A and B are shown apart, each in its own frame.
Chain A
Amino acid sequence: MSGLHATRPLSWRHRLLRGTLIALVMVFMAVLVLLPLAAVFIEALSKGVAAFMDVLAQPETVSSIKLTLLVAVLAVPLNLVFGVAAAWAMTRFEFRGKALLGAFIDLPFSVSPVVAGLVYVLLFGAQGWFGPWLSDHGVTIIFAVPGLVLATVFITLPFVARELISLMQAQGSEEEEAARTLGASGWQMFFRVTLPNIRWALLYGVLLCNARAMGEFGAVSVVSGHIRGLTTTMPLEVEMRYNEYDYMGAFAVASLLGLLALLTLVVKALLEWRYGDELAARATRGH
């Protein structure tokens, strides 16, 4: 920046252009991003704090919160273990079809959430491949918690893997090779060298994975069956209240998810600020 200014001082036209562009971006982002965020909280409190607290204490709300936490607690660790395994294989070894494997890991990012839910209905639903066999054995997946977890796992599969692959690619394997040469066992190497090197990136991936897992709507909506108190996660509770014209209630539950989003962004910014060097390059941040 200084180089540019040294060669050519800011003319008033340049300053005007610059001021206009900054103002334009601020207004655009305020309308596109800030206004919806503000709407969530203001609509949630539109009937006062007491009514808001009342919605949060209702059994439907409480059970939707518990279910959302349960689904995330099951789905996130599954994708965490997968992410570590996939990143280890992809960044530490050469093998045929590596690029294809990378593309398949990315696939859930570009598949419609509705399609993600649909595939499990076709697999495990009453008319599906395994449907009849499952119902003979008394196992329910669709319109039950296992279906919610599967759909969430599908949608959030790439988050941890993507982050770790970019970082471990950049870090290289010298330290791990040194540990092995010095006689460390495989697990010693993993827990004393690899894990400390990737811990912040791991946390970063888990953070994004969790935010999406708790907020996922389309995929879980297809497999849920919307059974109140049993298969409605918080986003589905928002939808059901909204469709029943309980707008304030919908926004009250939505405001909790809004707080989760804000918390996610704050932790994300903190991680980038404090441990930016130990995260994957910013190029991969957008995913």
Chain B
Amino acid sequence: MGHKRRRVLPGFGISLGYALTYLGLIVLLPLAALVWKASALDFSGWLQLLSAPRTLAALKLSFGGALIAALFNAVAGLLVTWVLVRYRFPGRRLFDALVDLPFALPTAVAGIALTAIYAPNGWLGQYLLPLGIKIAYAPAGVLVAMIFVGFPYVVRTLQPVLETLDRDVEEAAESLGATRLQTFVRVIVPALLPTLLTGFALALARAVGEYGSVIFIAGNIPLRSEIAPLLIVQKLEQFDYAGAAALGTVMLGFSLVLLVAIALLQRWSGRWAERAA
């Protein structure tokens, strides 16, 4: 089959050659420059960079915050997907379309809008402040921005799977006397788990590297609400190219690990779908 196809259809060499050249020039060569520049830093340089309190605090906030935001999005996304797929109510299509808004709205726009809402004198911020809740210009603001940008990933990953999930299994469980909660926990959640994890990983990857929506609402207080990408920008502005490249390499390494994890998760959920079919 493969041999026949190769003979009949033209353009293999030119399309693959073009794609590889383009990808090499746009993505791989620049990333190689990043790693090369980072390797200019010797061991003590790395140690100094990675043990600096400001670096540690920023990495902790970017990774820790992204983890919390992605966990929140996994739970909220499951709930939203469930309601959008299983229930019919007025405005459902509108809410379904709105899920994509964080994808479509430029991050800088989202950033200043979220700040206008959660700043101490903002739309909601003014009511939260007397309750002792400070969101903008604090780590909580970073979380809000990360939740905003990561939200669509979980819903859009789960939605097609939940739509095709066979109802017969649920009905069988219920006819065997399972309560709705038991059915949900024992039947639905396990079937959705690989997909839910994929959505979680996508939201995590997005939130870790997020910059535009975060920097406005974060207040960027050193050691407290400063994210790792901002530290890279600051190092660049101080002409500390090796330091910027080293931090960039750390973030790139994490992206690659997540990319592999997502590929494995997708293969796993693909197998799930095959077994179910």
Contact (A261, B117) CB under 8 Å given A25-B83, A104-B28? no
For the complex, count residues of A whose C-beta is within 8 A of B.
107
C-beta contact mask, B67-88 vs A, less than 8 Å → 1, else 0? 0000000001001101110111
Q: Sample 29 A-B pairs with CB under 8 A, ordered by A number.
A: A25-B95, A37-B113, A82-B19, A88-B15, A89-B19, A110-B209, A110-B255, A111-B255, A113-B212, A114-B211, A114-B248, A115-B255, A154-B26, A157-B27, A180-B8, A181-B8, A186-B10, A215-B105, A217-B212, A238-B109, A239-B108, A250-B112, A258-B109, A265-B101, A268-B104, A281-B160, A282-B163, A283-B157, A283-B160
* B43 interface contact, C-beta 8 A: no
Contact (A28, B251) CB under 8 Å given A103-B259, A119-B30? no
Most buried by A among B14, B82, B103: B103
Most buried by B among A114, A239, A281: A114
Contact B18 A104 (CB under 8 A): no
C-beta contact mask, A140-158 vs B, less than 8 Å → 1, else 0? 0000000000100110010
Most buried by A among B100, B148, B153: B100
Say how far A201's CB is from chain B's closest CB, in angstroms.
16
Contact (A235, B259) CB under 8 Å given A26-B95, A36-B110, A119-B30? no
* A133 interface contact, C-beta 8 A: no
Q: Which of B118-161 contact A (CB under 8 A)?
A: 123-124, 147-148, 151-153, 155-157, 159-161
Residues of B within 8 A of A (CB): 2, 5-6, 8-12, 14-16, 18-20, 22-23, 26-31, 33-34, 36-37, 76, 79-80, 82-84, 86-89, 91, 95, 97-110, 112-114, 116-117, 123-124, 147-148, 151-153, 155-157, 159-161, 163, 167-168, 170-171, 174-175, 180, 199, 202, 205-206, 208-212, 216, 229-230, 232-233, 236, 239, 241, 244-245, 248, 251-252, 255-256, 258-260, 262-263
* A33 interface contact, C-beta 8 A: yes
Whole-angstrom CA separation of A35 from B262 in the bound complex:
31
Contact A118 B9 (CB under 8 A): no
* A230 interface contact, C-beta 8 A: no
Contact (A37, B101) CB under 8 Å given A1-B86, A122-B241? yes
Contact B100 A268 (CB under 8 A): yes
Q: Is the interface of A mostly helix, strand, loop or mixed?
A: helix
* A170 interface contact, C-beta 8 A: no
Contact A85 B19 (CB under 8 A): yes
Contact A93 B6 (CB under 8 A): yes
Q: Which of A92-135 contact B (CB under 8 A)?
A: 92-95, 99, 101, 103-115, 118-123, 125, 127-129
Contact (A120, B100) CB under 8 Å given A37-B113, A43-B116? no
C-beta contact mask, A67-107 vs B, less than 8 Å → 1, else 0? 00000000000000110111011101111000101011111
